[in-house]
């Protein structure tokens, strides 16, 4: 995390310098400031400063070094358990299909969106209660 913070500070300085050079160059070439590029480059520098500041706050609030920041860390040190996922579940596929129907209904015809909402509700309920019925019941 510390390396990322430093990289964003370097990017901030670079974008401010690039914005200054760009503004000066446009003044020399056309005797006017090209506002779109100048504002875009300076706002990119400000954005990278925001990201660097946020990463610094997060690093300070953690209180210790992350395993990714230590040179003597093992791969298993930074490998937390992400969660439990259903190995052979078809419900995420049905959920994705229902979301596609919902978006298609908003783009083409509203009546398709109503069907998509019904299938979406069925998919969410099915995925939630998948381990309460059938072969994988607990």
- For the chain, what percent of residues have pLDDT higher than 90? 60
- pLDDT reported for residue 107: 93
19-47: b (≥16 Cβ within 10 Å) or e: beebbeebeeeeeeeeeeebeebbebbee
Distance of CA 13 to the CA centre of its chain: 24
Q: What number is the average pLDDT over the span 32-55? A: 95
- Provide the whole-model pTM: 0.53
Residue 137 has pLDDT above 70, yes or no: no
- pLDDT reported for residue 123: 95
- pLDDT reported for residue 136: 64
Asked if residue 95 lies in contact with residue 102, where contact means CB atoms within 8 angstroms, the answer is no
- pLDDT reported for residue 11: 96
């Amino acid at each position: 995390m510390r390396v990322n913070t430093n990289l964003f500070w370097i990017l901030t300085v670079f974008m401010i310098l690039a914005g200054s050079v760009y503004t000066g160059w446009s003044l020399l070439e056309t005797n006017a400031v090209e506002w779109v590029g100048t504002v875009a480059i300076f706002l990119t520098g400000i954005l990278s400063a925001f990201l660097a500041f946020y990463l610094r706050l997060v690093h300070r609030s953690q209180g210790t070094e992350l395993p990714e920041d230590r040179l003597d860390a093992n791969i298993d040190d930074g490998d937390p358990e992400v969660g439990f996922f259903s190995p052979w579940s078809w419900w995420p596929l049905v959920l994705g299909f229902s979301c596609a129907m919902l978006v298609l209904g908003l783009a083409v015809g509203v009546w398709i969106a109503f069907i998509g909402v019904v299938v979406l509700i069925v998919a969410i309920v099915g995925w939630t209660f998948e381990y309460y019925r059938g072969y994988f019941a607990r």
